[in-house]
Amino acid sequence: MTRVKRSVSARKKRRATLELTKGFRGEAHSNYKRAKEALIKADTYAYRDRRNRKRDFRRLWITRINAAARQNGMSYSQFMHGLSLAGVELDRKVLADIAVRDADTFRRFTEVAREASAA
């Protein structure tokens, strides 16, 4: 069996890891063993938080819609139920943007929701 000399590929792998951990605290940016551990942990957090970001934004949108709906005399649940009965198919992201940027348009949406739920 032929001999495999690993120094080039091993050095390349270590250099790549240390490049990714640039800016980490303590030995985690200079010591390969600590950098590898920190990188595994960082990747775990990144994977988890890519999913959590979606939850966080949905919560933010719901909070904004609720605040705007209450200014117009409705609760969030009544508002969303009224919109679904009226056949308005706007997602929470767009509704939250309208609530923040254009209060007059959002007021018209609350009127539509109120009429649909009353009927």
User: What domains are there in the chain, each with its CATH number?
Assistant: 12-118 (1.10.1900.20)
**pLDDT at 36 exceeding the cut of 90:** yes
As a whole number, mean pLDDT of residues 68-82 equals 97
Q: What is the mean pLDDT of residues 62-76?
A: 98
- Nearest residue to 93 via CA among 68, 67, 57, 118: 57
> Does pTM surpass 0.85?
no
Cα distances (angstroms) measured from residue 39 to each of 27, 45, 84: 12, 10, 46
pLDDT of residue 31: 97
What is the amino acid identity at position 28? A
Q: What pLDDT, on a 0 to 100 scale, did the predictor assign at position 5?
A: 87
DSSP structure class, residue 88 = -
Whether residue 4 has pLDDT greater than 90: no
Mean pLDDT estimate for the chain: 97
